[in-house]
Amino acid sequence: MAKILCVLYEDPIDGYPKTYARDSIPKLERYPDGQTLPTPKHIDFKPGELLGSVSGELGLRKFLEGKGHTFIVTSDKDGPDSVFEKELPDTDIVISQPFWPAYLTEERFAKAKKLKLAITAGIGSDHVDLQAAIEKGTTVAEVTYCNSNSVAEHNVMAILTLARNYIPSYQWVIDKGWNIADCVERAYDIEGMTVGIVGSGRIGLGTLKRLKAFDVKLHYTDRHRLPETTEKELGLTFHENVESLVSVCDIVALCCPLHPETEHLFNDKLINKMKRGAYLVNTARGKICDRDAVVRALESGQLAGYAGDVWFPQPAPNDHPWRTMPHHGMTPHVSGTSLSAQARYAAGVREILECWFENKPIRDEYLIVNKGKLAGTGKHSYSAGNATRGSEEASKFEVQK
């Protein structure tokens, strides 16, 4: 029997919900490219429930304990005295989400002598030291595509929130004001603007498709160029490199994976090549941007706004400067964990576990590392190496009661 250690974010501060705002969520049959949604044999939850917090347990307890496995769920993941650290040495399988990641560093791999499988409940496995996973022969899998369109929707929302100066306008209402001039002095239409997407995978392409209706000029860069038919359909301009793209764009959205080649890509040098007053949206990974370079650019006016929901580390320390920098539209990492997305990634985790326990192949598109090398989606999207350095700073976060 296996020991499964699952790290999920904490329940709502007023308790696990007894009711929900809506009675149901739409049922999808397939993703836009034809890939099927997760296909577990059974699920023990109702789609639309809160599954990503500790009480939700990804709907897995009945399934796992019914087969005799040990299932431990915790939100306590950071530091040497955490539940995660204490339970790790004899754990066979780790499940974690990008939103509240259990960082599997080289040091933790060294302690996890029995670890065979690391599952990301969501997409983006950069919280795992992929180089260590390769060397240790640990399989890494994620639920590819489960929340890509959720993040694409968030991208459009963030772009409009910044350009239309929505958050300060909302705040005037809360403050009982009617300060129209204060609201609109930084508000612009995006119609006619040039929008660039860095990374045209499922999230990037989904963002491009959603932005087409706004009559903007669409540009993109990626190491894998899209088919010519897609470029013509969406009116896309391709750039061979990110430097070329950022120099012509009013808005840049980051949709690329984090790996050693993209770590701190948006530093002072690159941000200063952007148009003055451009907007930068990052729902990819916080570490793709240099933290302090973003702050400097907002303070100087080089950037008119920065929004997104990804930080490094996660959760971000209470004194993280992105919490207080000017003209930002930051949220905790929520874009990919809507209740709709949770139903898909919880089902996908169960599908992966069913395959693992039955010694059946895991879908190729779910694989990141397998048999000592990058595989499946990992081979397409990542490069070998480690992007977890500095993750110990997450231990500085203190829950605000």
Amino acid at position 100, single letter: W
d(CA 238, CA 387): 27
Verify whether residue 171 is a known catalytic residue.
Answer: no
Verify whether residue 285 is a known catalytic residue.
Answer: yes
Q: Quick one: the chain helix, strand, coil %, rounded to 5?
A: 35, 15, 50
Annotated catalytic residue, options 69, 97, 131, 147: 147
Distances, alpha carbon 145 to alpha carbons 48, 72, 229, 255, 342, in Å: 18, 26, 22, 13, 12
Angle (CA) 297-302-307 rounded to 5° is 65
Annotated catalytic residue, options 127, 285, 327, 344: 285
Q: How many CB atoms lie within 10 A of CB 21?
A: 7
Three-state SS at 140: strand
Strand ranges in 209-276 using DSSP code E only, listed in sequence order: 217-221, 236-239, 251-254
Number of residues written out for the chain: 401
Give 175's contacts (C-beta < 8 A, 6+ positions apart): none
The answer to whether residues 253 and 283 touch, using CB atoms and an 8 Å cutoff, is: yes
- For 184, the token pair is 């609109």
Where b means 16+ CB within 10 Å and e means fewer, 66-97 reads eeebebebbbbbbeeebebbebbeebbbbbbb
d(CA 68, CA 219): 52
Angle (CA) 143-338-127 rounded to 5° is 45
Annotated catalytic residue, options 259, 320, 333, 350: 333
Distances, alpha carbon 357 to alpha carbons 88, 256, 328, in Å: 20, 32, 45
Residue recorded with tokens 């907002």? 298
Annotated catalytic residue, options 165, 302, 314, 370: 314
Which residues are identified as catalytic?
147, 285, 314, 333
